[in-house]
A and B are shown apart, each in its own frame.
Chain A
Amino acid sequence: MSSVTSSPPARMSQQAGQQTQAAGRQPPVLRVEDLRIRFPVNNGLDTVKAVDGVDFEVRQGETFGVIGESGSGKTTIGRALVCLLQPTSGRILHDGVDPATLSRSAFRKRRRDYQIIFQDPNAALNPRMTILDSVMEPLWAAGEGDDASRRRAATEALVRVGLPPEAGERYPHQLSGGQKQRVNIARVLTLRPRMIVCDEVVAALDVSIRGDVLNLFADLQREFGLTYVFITHDISVVSHISDRIAVTYLGRFMELGPADAVTEKPLHPYTQALLSAEPVPLPSNMRVNRRIMLEGEIPSPVSPPSGCRFRTRCPSAQARCASEEPAWRELRPDHWVACHFATPEGPPPPNG
């Protein structure tokens, strides 16, 4: 349905780079190749390019952070990773297998390995089901065990996420937001998935319990060797939990690299601006006043700007940025950026 619009050199370099990375390592849990997802709007007159050419892989046991503002396509990517949305073009490989090519029953078997936890813990639980029934449901859907063994596994999962076994008899409205999110974690845990997409999983929680839930994710990862794709708009959360971070803007990656490099020595002007916009709870004498104020707002994904999508708000934009889409370049080991003017030293200086 869609045509490939990105410039060929950009795509080729991106793929070539990932092949060298993959060599000599375990096969990636997840591999995404030129993913594009479009939605018709306006009675089919226009198309929202929610994801518009994204390549990456997620390695066994890592936490892959995806950060971006609203409209950047991060949630759409997350849903596509667990087959809740079909790619318009491009491929998603689970352990090297494209689930779109599988038969219905083979797909069902494999699907349990790739799970997702959503932002709103209330909306994700059926208010008319007890907590235990909700936690047992995925096992039932996967056709695993009998009722007694499912009950046992669900109770174990509840205890593992820090809830008392009696919580299973309650209904969602009797639990706090943090407890409900623990229930949602227990639900996917029963399936022993290989990878979990976490879509803004702590955004709805209060600060004082957010830490607890993030600690739980880290513990479970160590215990079960889980792989996470952690999608959030919160820079402090993503930089705390991730091994690598991808920065999205209008359906494309602007930067991808190790978490500390991306947050401490970013290469892309957008990453730099995003980091500087994060409010810091420090007294005024310790605050570093180097905020880069971005003009305007994220443009419409129906008609993204030509060339580099960030150029309309970029403090360093040049004429070339409008005419040519930046190549995806590995400027530091394992650290990629889509900017014509970035160097291994960092982003280009602002104009004027």
Chain B
Amino acid sequence: MTDIPAKLSFAPGNADHLTGRGSMATGHASASRPVTGATPLLEVRDLSTAFLTSNGELPITRQISFSINAGERVGLVGESGCGKSVTGLSLMRLLPPHTARITGQAHLAGQDLMALSARQMRAVRGRDVAMIFQEPMSALDPVFTVGEQIAEAYRVHFPVSRAEARQRAIAALVEVGIPAPEQRYDEYPHQLSGGMRQRVMIAMALICEPKLIIADEPTTALDVTIQAQITDLLRSLSERTGAALIFITHDLGVVAETCTRMITMYAGEIVEDAPVDDVLTRPRHPYTSGLLRSLPGLSARRGVLPSIPGRVPSPGRMPDGCRFRERCGHAMAGCEREQTLLPMAADHVARCWRARDLRLPGSVNDMAADSPVAHNLAVAAGEIRP
């Protein structure tokens, strides 16, 4: 989060944060996710974030709407600049009011996070919803021991003695699989490896048993063998504690292995929201399909890799209608009209007029027969001997 303000130019005097609060009428029609029986844990409705720059407001995300049930693990994917991290930071209310204007609602267990005062939000942040950042080294304070920092996260919300908070923090270190936790408690961040620091961040996020954890690229800075350990840990913790997880990442493989649902973002909008297995098998949005096809593991070795031509339009200069149409091989007349998230199946929506009639390749049907992944599958199926 530390680098976010650096990206912005400051616009002093315009501190009228959250002026959009309540302006969205209840029962807004654009929340197109089909209603399920149970009340979702988190319901985000028309959440838009704009950065306040010296040239006026720069819209970054536009009308983000989705909901998450308790225990669900949702991957929020997209390329750099698509607004996935901004969505996470907006939900946590971590964007400074004088640099960002957020409109819309986000109900966590019935309470609208966007309508809370700064003081009320402090009681929720860390307690009901916690965040894990990409760079544990910059998220940890170098002058306090990791144990103190974990214990502090607990003491902020619960009136316990230092000794009890210490016991809680050590229990949390055990839970995230840190060996010799009593000894580690008294160590400083620089004494731990990258993987251990990320475990400390997870312990800090977990200690108050939040209902929702937002993890922003938690494994991107880690080696692949350590990434496997951390994604396994997040998955098993979410299964055990029932905490819902928003996993922000650009790595579709990580989403496939960790999450139950995948939300694809492009140029500040959600373009697809579906169960992971469905979207990998049959993506409905051409952008999701293009992302899956670009992965080298699914292409023939040494063959030409598919890619998406062109570049993402920059904020403030977004085309009308479909924001992907200039790069889309399936664009047609009409794509410049305003698009909404159309229902494809009970739990699958896509922002594309052609989503129903297109049959787009996913990771399965587009896989080259001589790709590394296809080979491993054939070995597993007993078709060829390793």
Q: Which of A's residues lie within 8 Å of B, judged by CB?
A: 69-70, 176, 178, 206-212, 214-215, 218, 233, 235-237, 239-241, 259-260, 263-265, 273-274, 277-288, 290-291, 293-294, 297-298, 346
Contacts and interface: CB of A to CB of B under 8 A. Distances in A.
30 contacts: A69-B224, A70-B223, A178-B311, A208-B291, A208-B308, A209-B311, A211-B307, A215-B305, A215-B307, A233-B223, A237-B296, A239-B297, A239-B372, A241-B302, A274-B225, A277-B225, A279-B227, A279-B231, A279-B256, A281-B292, A281-B295, A281-B297, A281-B298, A282-B364, A283-B256, A283-B276, A283-B280, A284-B276, A287-B256, A297-B195
Interface in B287-305: 290-292, 294-299, 301-302, 304-305
A203 to B, nearest CB: 10
A86 to B, nearest CB: 28
Contacts of B254: 279
A277 B281 CA distance: 22
A257 B381 CA distance: 25
A207 B294 contact: yes
B224 A233 contact: yes
Interface in B270-324: 276-277, 280-281, 290-292, 294-299, 301-302, 304-308, 311
Given A69-B226, A264-B379, 9 more contacts: A208-B307, A211-B296, A211-B305, A218-B302, A236-B296, A239-B301, A281-B255, A283-B363, A288-B379
The residue among A215, A260, A265, A297 with the most chain B CB atoms within 10 A of its own CB is: A297
B250 A283 contact: no
B225 A208 contact: no
B306 A211 contact: yes
Interface of B: 79-80, 193-196, 223-229, 231-232, 250-257, 276-277, 280-281, 290-292, 294-299, 301-302, 304-308, 311, 363-364, 372-373, 375-377, 379-380, 386
A237 B302 CA distance: 10
A215 B292 CA distance: 17
Nearest to B290: A208
SS of A interface (majority): helix
A176 B117 CA distance: 39
A236 B297 contact: yes
A287 B195 CA distance: 25
The residue among A233, A282, A288 with the most chain B CB atoms within 10 A of its own CB is: A282
Nearest to A291: B228
Nearest to B371: A240
Contacts of A214: 296, 305
Contact of B225 (A264, A273, A280): A273
Contact of A279 (B251, B298, B301, B375): B251
A329 to B, nearest CB: 20
B308 A69 contact: no
B296 A280 contact: no
A297 B251 contact: no
A298 to B, nearest CB: 7
Given A69-B225, A208-B307, A288-B377, A280 B256 contact: yes
The 8 closest A-B pairs by CB, nearest first: A279-B253, A211-B305, A211-B307, A236-B297, A283-B277, A288-B380, A69-B223, A208-B308
A83 B227 CA distance: 33
Nearest to B376: A288
B251 to A, nearest CB: 6
Contacts of B251: 279
Contacts of B226: 69, 297
A67 to B, nearest CB: 10
The residue among A69, A233, A277 with the most chain B CB atoms within 10 A of its own CB is: A277
A274 B224 contact: yes
Nearest to A177: B80
A288 B377 CA distance: 7
